[in-house]
Amino acid sequence: MAVNGSFSCILQPNTCRPRTCSVRNYGNEPCFILRRHKGRPVLVQASATTDSVAAAKPPEKMRGALPVVGNFHQFKFSKLYKDIDDFHKQHDSQALEVSMFRRRSCHTRDPNDCAQIFRDAEVFPKSPDINVVSDWLGEGLATQSNIQKHAEMRRLLNPAFRQDYIKGLSPAFAEVGDRLADALLELGEHDIQDMAARATIDIIGRTGFRYDFGCLDLAMGRRRSGATVEAAGERLDVAKLFDQLVFGVSRIFAFSYFFPRREWIPGFSEYRAAIRKLDAVINSVLEERRRVGVDPEDRDLISYCLRAMEEDSGIMNDKQIRNELHTLLFAGSDTTANTLSWTFHLLSHRPEMMARCLQEADALRDHDGELSPALLNERLPYLTACVKETLRMYPPAPMLSRVCTKDTVLEGTRTLVSKGSMVTLDIWSVHRNPKHWVRPDEYRPERWLAEGEAEFGPILQEAFIPFGGGSRICIGMYFAIMEAQVIAAQVLQKVKFEPVPGFEPDAVMRMTLSSKNGIRLRALPRSSGDGRPSGQQTAATSV
């Protein structure tokens, strides 16, 4: 039914409202709502109306739902992002409703919907799902649901992530990248996902904590005195602790539908034990830093937290410092590690692309042989494009959830979302949406270069959101990209990668997108002919 012009509610005053004819307001948008009064349909004007608002509709329901369980039986939790994307593609949907038991969520893969959700943080705050990690990360910057507290913490920590400061960290990135290259060559064939995680944990330790966790050395079996964390009387491998914690969080999320209390979930006691061990690590690092003292010029994360506590600003206390350090240690290492791993995997299957990256890596040094941050974007355009294309195809967070606090119309799909509904941003699907990308399932770094932007670049800039958006956009975005640039270039100066025959990574969604069976690659030493183009670039292939 099309509605034109301006109408008044045809109900007489006080005849049925609010009991049988409640008026909704979909955000700031006008809307007419059809209700029944005394057995006949009536039109209720929620606000002044337009044709476009009259076209707003509830999300399409995902097919195959069963009584009680809804669509639960159709998914494997670790592949939920992929199962939803398959449904989007099969039915050409942009927004759909997925039900699991009593929970209903509106999933959208429309960039304009996502931009609105990111922008309207008060209407779409963090969903209760974030409580799954509360035992581990507490209420840190990434998990804080209170908008005002989040803004205060963001203002406090922003200086630690300024571009001018991060550029000065490139020597630390390069040093660890060099050690990673040596370790990979020594191992030959190995899981690059594990080794990249160890390298990025070491970098966060050095740059954020001024501490060497020694994760790479532990992997190589070299336990130098003082190079690894001592906690609870034993030497701990932080990388292995992360594996245990991520597995625990994934289990809690999957089993929460069946167990009313998380303590009843199998493996919860082991999860809590891993948290206590990591707490001991963080506490030992913090105590050492307090003993040494904080200089007014220090700009690492711990320094900002300790100074805020000394100033008695009310923002920071011991518990909050603990939460922020846990958050930084995980989020600051995991995103880059997975991006590097997927990038090396994709390049190993594309020799011409690999050769072009090797050429750029060789040209990165200045005349003195030192790494120059100013040369990163100038001399690594193709490698940087490869990293961005990896972030498109394998975003760190393939899905993000929010809760809708008032009846709202999503701008892109004209979808009605009711108050209290869950809203899920299908980042994986947004990045592979054929409405906004040309050949979205093909790995094409040239999308991000002048040579291919017109043909393959994003049709809409909002269709590329690997770090989120709005006031909650990842605070460490620049850190992660520059870290990936430097480590990749440093490794490729010594190493070239080849795929392991018969191996295929199994991408799964845990806390972030990683491979369930690792990412095994052959690391080979560079030879004099590496990096020289052997002909025309091979066609991009689907992944």
Q: What are the extents of the domains in the chain?
A: 1-56, 147-525
Q: What is the pLDDT of residue 540?
A: 56
Q: What is the pLDDT of residue 254?
A: 84
Cis peptide before 18 (omega within 30 of 0): yes
The first and second tokens of residue 263, run together, are 């303590």
Q: What is the pLDDT of residue 283?
A: 92
Is 147-525 CATH 3.40.630.10? no
Q: What is the pLDDT of residue 298?
A: 85
The model's pTM is 0.85
Per-residue pLDDT reduced to its tens digit, 192-229: 999 999 999 999 999 999 888 999 998 887 544 445 56
The first and second tokens of residue 280, run together, are 């001991």
SS3 (DSSP) at 405: coil
Q: What is the pLDDT of residue 34?
A: 47
The first and second tokens of residue 427, run together, are 């980042």
Q: What is the pLDDT of residue 543?
A: 63
C-beta separation of 431 from 393 below 8 A:
yes
With a cut of 70, which residues of the chain have pLDDT below it?
Answer: 1-55, 222-235, 312-313, 365-375, 377, 528-529, 531-543
First to last CA, the chain: 44
474 marked ligand binding residue: yes
**Neighbour tally for 98: CB within 10 Å:** 24
In degrees rounded to 5, what are phi and psi of residue 415?
A: -100, 130
